[in-house]
Chain A
């Protein structure tokens, strides 16, 4: 490292800031935000002369630990229950990371403050690091873990699977639409500042408890970069706040970004931490406890609330509702149950819950057994093929849910489901906040204001639509979730690798065909649809049909 102080060096590189004289740069990415006042200083104070050696040193530690893990036979102690969920997580996360790199130039253009561009460029480099280091970790798992299926076709799986599509919001949302909405509010202000705490800190801690110390090695190294990105977001937010015209857009985007992050991240990471662990010590934190600490206290109370005095309108109602969903409405449990219901549509093995797990859940979430216990007992009963169908096609008092058109997680808290006709199509939403996102926020006008740069929600957002009327064996084969014998499924609802206990395409072929809830919804008459909504809202918890006593179990 040079003898020059970092502050002096950083001050010097500000002389590089470019004010165009002969040609204005092409503005490819638009925003409806305006930045007319209050230039901010680059908060990172980072120069590449110190950055590259620092990152190299971090890499050396990560790769040294990787070698050590293999030499030390780490995989003799890794819990399969845990590592199976990494087939999902590590298929998703490299794309959001590289998308974050791709999003930085959107900010170069949208935020007219050359001093901030240095920090954004360093974030771009960090994100290339994160994406490729995570692809590499997955490669290591594939090479050394007992069951490589699901890791070896990881990106095809991710691109084919409904869970992957849910996860893709955490990528496409960073790089598409209004540049500030995407790359600043959704990515840095909410995803990175709030939810990387559970993604990259809480979850790796759980990995270590399950014998996997490589995930924490890689992700804590990643998280040490995130603090820089949080600073980038904060500087941009303060600039945006200084312009009165941005307040309405900030309020819109915080509501969208907060709710979408809650729906997506809490669904996935909550499930991994609660249902992917074998660590059932009563004094280890539950996801709800972690959420309260990392997100409610550290993010909401310590980061967001102080911004109120600068005029930021904080979505207090949605933050409290997110907690309500997690604590009172069983959001994470409902999601884990749905993952397990649909195990056959995925590419990892899902272990059933045992008596020890039941005891822990009841201790951490009083009343859990009455809601979910019976269903998980059925899951275990139906785990190995024995003349019956997979659980989704058996009668276990579970109504297959509709999907939320916006967040694409199913509408699992049944009483919150709403429908609306948008763009000529009847759509179900898991919550009013998701309906608002689709029907009101992602539109070219918002509350009477022109928002010509706002993005759109597009694509085939209900996975089942694509396979409506298909035989399940053909669905699984079409997605490629089959092992190298050509018939045994990648996914299994248990961890037993005895080929005789594993489900095959032959078992799938006997099942009823796939039916798309949304296709069926759009075939209903108005009165049928009204009756459907009324019935749906009475269902649950744990997907129970209406009218069988579930009402009493709802908080």
Chain B
């Protein structure tokens, strides 16, 4: 016979019926019209989920920051100075509200106070979207590589193609890594609004992920292909003359002094089409299949999609309005044209130093000049989207 032992009552919180759900009572602010964030104007008629979780999280003293920024750098700058780029959006030259004894809070009368706040990331990136997107990409890449491994797909590669992938596809990982960490992540402290800085952070994620995708693909190939040298990418990156031009201009991008606008513009508008897509789209993607490799294009293609469908989209949405700005269009166009004059020749010179890569595989890709022309045409198209003229330097 068993006995049931009496246990003392456990101490747990007691649920209580409070009826604290929406609509339970009527009072000022109880209606549906009070149930939306009301401190900003949406870009379109209805505010989006992305706007709700992003807009105004980073304060602006021209909006509601009654007591102003409360920490300053040693040089006196504070918060997110609008002068951290030479680009200008309408309204930025208007003085900040002067607050002091008895001034009140001086909240913004017309939202937004300046044109920077009009920017919205067309990808509408926030945490939910960025994890879904990147998780899908890494899952797909893993599946592709795993399937190829099981199918012994790497056995079909010629020795020359193995050398090409271990050195050149491998070398590209360094560029993605540098741009991801030291351009995009580095500048996510500098933009004028939360929308700009979040877009830069998400762009950084794509780059860092793609760099790691390439590194781990390289590791798989080291394990799968006899004689695949997993360290050859370091030799190519450090010593191969064909890579030094791209490396030099890539390293120049994090060296841009104190201008997040130029950093992003030079990287996504100039470097990416003229060097990034030249190598990825117009070489690797064109030549791999001819050399019996159907796997590398799926890894590199993910990075291509990042840039083409997401990173370039936000970049155009960020910079194109500035060339049409109601107050500073001429200033911005002149500035961007100056950047083009500075960066286009460097990128073209670097592109030409990569020409030997076009003759390394057994099955040849399109001619280098044809690939470069394609990259230049693409670049000119991006400039047209931005409202900029094609610079004469492009014909060099």
Contact A2 B73, CB 8 Å, known A22-B251, A56-B131, A75-B20:
no
Cα-based distance from A544 to B389 in the complex (angstroms): 72
Contact digits for A37-52, partner B, Cβ 8 Å, 1 yes 0 no:
0000000000111001
- Count of A interface residues, CB-CB < 8 Å: 131
Q: Are B146 and A3 in contact (CB under 8 A)?
A: yes
Tell me which residues across on chain B come within 8 A of A124, comparing CB atoms: 185, 188, 201, 204
Interface residues on B, range: 35 or more
Is A12 an interface position by the 8 A CB rule?
yes
Contact B211 A16 (CB under 8 A): yes
**Complex: A133 Cα to B132 Cα, angstroms:** 14
Q: For B256, list chain A residues within 8 Å (CB).
A: 26
Contacts of A73 in B (CB 8 A): 21
Interface string of A209-229 (1 = CB under 8 A from B): 111000000000000000000
A211 touches B18 (CB 8 A): yes
Picked from B29, B128, B145, the residue with its CB within 8 Å of the CB of A149 is B29
Given A15-B233, A121-B204, CB of A153 within 8 Å of CB of B38:
yes
Rounded to whole Å, the gap between the CB of B206 and the closest CB of chain A is 10
CB-CB contacts of B194-235 with A at 8 A, as 1s and 0s? 100110011011001101110110111001000000110110
Given A53-B139, A155-B57, A485-B28: A460 and B68 interface contact (C-beta under 8 Å)? yes
Contact B186 A105 (CB under 8 A): yes
Residue of A102, A162, A211 contacting most chain B CB atoms (<10 Å): A102
Question: How far, in angstroms, from A77 to B128 measured CA to CA in the complex?
Answer: 28
- Give Cα distance in the complex from A245 to B290, angstroms: 59
- Flag if A146 contacts B64 (CB, 8 Å): no
Contacts of A26 in B (CB 8 A): 254-258
A55 to B132, CA, bound (A): 9
B359 within 8 A of A: no
Asked whether, in the complex, the Cβ of B174 is within 8 Å of the Cβ of A18, the reply is yes
> Within 8 Å CB of B64, what residues of A?
155-156, 159-160
Quote the shortest CB–CB distance from A206 to chain B (angstroms).
9
A79 to B39, CA, bound (A): 27
- A454 neighbours in B (Cβ, 8 Å): 74
Interface-centre pick from B23, B59, B139 (highest chain A CB count, 10 A): B59
> Which residues of chain A come closer than 8 Å to B202, judged between CB atoms?
128
Q: A4-B223, A83-B20 given; name 9 further pairs at CB < 8 Å.
A: A16-B177, A22-B247, A79-B16, A124-B185, A136-B126, A145-B22, A463-B67, A468-B101, A485-B28
Please list 18 pairs of residues, one from A and one from B, whose beta carbons are closer than 8 Å in the complex, sorted by A's number: A12-B218, A25-B251, A47-B216, A59-B132, A95-B58, A98-B57, A105-B185, A136-B52, A142-B36, A149-B28, A152-B35, A165-B70, A177-B71, A456-B71, A459-B68, A459-B71, A460-B100, A474-B104
Residues of B within 8 A of A (CB): 11, 13, 15-25, 27-31, 33-39, 49, 52-54, 56-59, 63-74, 76, 78-79, 99-105, 107, 126-128, 130-132, 134-135, 137-139, 141-142, 145-146, 173-174, 177-178, 180-182, 185-190, 194, 197-198, 201-202, 204-205, 208-209, 211-213, 215-216, 218-220, 223, 230-231, 233-234, 238, 247-248, 251-252, 254-258
